[in-house]
Amino acid sequence: MYAELLTIWSDQPGISLAIWLAALIFIMYLGRKPAHQLIRSVGRTIHAAFRLAARSTMSLETRLQKRNAEVILSLGKDSTERSIEREFHRVNAVVSRDLSSYPTLHRQISDTINKIEEDYHSATDSPPLPPAWLEAVESIANIPQSGDATVGRILESIKKTVKQAHAETQKVYEKSSLERHKLLSGMQPMWRKLALVLGQVKDTIDGLDERSKLIDEQMETYQAIRAGEERASRLLTSSSLTQFFISGLVLFIAILGGVINFQLIAMPMSEMVGGTSQIGPMRTSDVAALVIIMVEIAMGLFLMESLRITRLFPIIGSMDDKLRKRMVVITFVILTILASVEASLAYMRDLLALDREALTQSLSGIGVVEAEFRWIPSLGQMTMGFILPFALAFVAIPLESFIHSTRTVLGLLAVVLLRCIAFVARLLGSVANHVSKTLVSVYDLIILLPLGVEQIFTGTRRRRENDAQPADSVTAVIKE
């Protein structure tokens, strides 16, 4: 077919090809204008279509970004509300624990102060007054002796009485001083007690002060979130990404733990459900082991929900406190039972492995070798079997973070993807536009020869017209 076409003009393919080329170039030259229009219009159409697609994608991206911001602010709002609520709960706990007894404390302090005041007043130093007649006696005693022996004796007696009265007064004073000292020393523990009570009050107040500062900070964040500030959104996004990676890492560790757990219980499970039956492509014992692990994780989720540590199931969180506490107890009991089952399965696994090893040794003709310290791996396996379910129960915490942060991460990825699509659409549109321009030039390059001839003719005719134009004007002037 092609060979026939090639030799349609001449037997020599070269000449025929040249004729074909000449004909093609001529046809292309004739259809130059519509061809240019076609190429350019196709280019512009593609360009416009891609630009429209890019604009739509960018509009979608803007909407998605807005939605992402709303979601992240909503999550942040929820999280901050929880933090503030928790802080208020703590404040409430402090107030109800320490400050609820404040009236009693106040009365205690007042009583102590009153007692101290009374004691202080009782301890005031008031020297005893000598008897009233003592001054008269003292005046008589001070009369100079005139040598009368009787008078001398009387005076001596009076002097003696005065001295005695002084001694008695001194004795009373000393006694009262001793009592005062006793009162003062009795005040010391009261002061200490007072200082201690006031110290306790100070600590409580300081704690409340710190809590109030934290609440203030949280409230500021909350207000920023409510106002929809850009900074708050950025901070929450960054925090969400961090949460995503950290919770992802913890979940990965949990998955490894789950795999180990599965290895511990899959083999002994065949003792319960048989070693050969299958559910689909999996052995029933493997499925049973997986189910146990999944139930453990589910119980862990419910336990964490009931303890209000996580909030994946709002219905559990909004339950009546009594019911919720019952649920805590029930899930914990189920988890403990499952952990015990796992521990026993782990022990059975060890026994089975031992039995199998003994059988293999007997089949291969080697006498059964009793391994020493067999109890160590047995105990280790049992402990692992008991602990791993509880460890898996805590998966609920990173799982919640992961689920919440995944929404943010997916939103961010979708935004990036949409941006890329818009960029590619814009790029393709521009490329189509420029390619159409280039194709026009290439078209002209192909028909270069007839175009050149046309330009020569056009140039000559123009020159002729230019040359003829002055002569015509001279003729017109002459005619006038």
Partner 1 sequence: MKRTLWISGLLILTLSACSEPTPRNKAVYLLLDTSGTYTRELDKAQHIMNYLLATLDSGDSMAIARIDSGSFSEKDIVAKTTFDLRPSTANAQKRVFKRKLDDFVDNVSKGSAHTDISGGVLQASEYLNETGAGHKYVLIFSDLEEDLVKGHIRDFTIPLSGINVIALNVTKLRSDNVNPRDYLQRLDNWEKRVGEGGGMWRVVNDLERLDRLISN
- Contacting residues toward partner 1, per CB under 8 A: 267, 270-271, 274-278, 351-352, 355-356, 359-360, 362-365
We find the least distance from the C-beta atom of residue 281 to partner 1, in angstroms, to be 10
Q: Closest CB to partner 1 among 106 and 356?
A: 356
For residues 82 and 305, give the distance between their C-alpha atoms in angstroms, rounded to a whole number. Answer: 14
For residues 341 and 338, give the distance between their C-alpha atoms in angstroms, rounded to a whole number. Answer: 5
Cβ burial, residue 402 (10 Å; 0-12/13-18/19+)? buried
Q: Closest CB to partner 1 among 113 and 351?
A: 351
We find the least distance from the C-beta atom of residue 344 to partner 1, in angstroms, to be 14
For residues 392 and 398, give the distance between their C-alpha atoms in angstroms, rounded to a whole number. Answer: 11
For residues 334 and 273, give the distance between their C-alpha atoms in angstroms, rounded to a whole number. Answer: 21
Q: Which stretches within 307-395 are classed as H helix?
A: 314-317, 321-363, 375-393
Q: Closest CB to partner 1 among 147 and 365?
A: 365
Q: Closest CB to partner 1 among 184 and 279?
A: 279
Q: Closest CB to partner 1 among 142 and 360?
A: 360
Token representation of residue 397: 């915490």
Q: Closest CB to partner 1 among 356 and 462?
A: 356
We find the least distance from the C-beta atom of residue 394 to partner 1, in angstroms, to be 33
Q: Closest CB to partner 1 among 79 and 270?
A: 270
Per-residue b or e along 176-207, where b marks 16 or more CB atoms closer than 10 Å to that residue's CB: eeeebeeeeeebeeeeeebeeeeeebeebeee
We find the least distance from the C-beta atom of residue 377 to partner 1, in angstroms, to be 18
For residues 385 and 260, give the distance between their C-alpha atoms in angstroms, rounded to a whole number. Answer: 9
- Non-local CB neighbours of 310 within 8 Å, separated by 6+ positions: 301, 304, 396, 397, 399, 400
Q: Which stretches within 95-126 are classed as H helix?
A: 102-122
Q: Closest CB to partner 1 among 69 and 348?
A: 348
* Bridge partners, residue 278, by sequence: 283
Which of helix, strand or coil describes residue 278?
strand
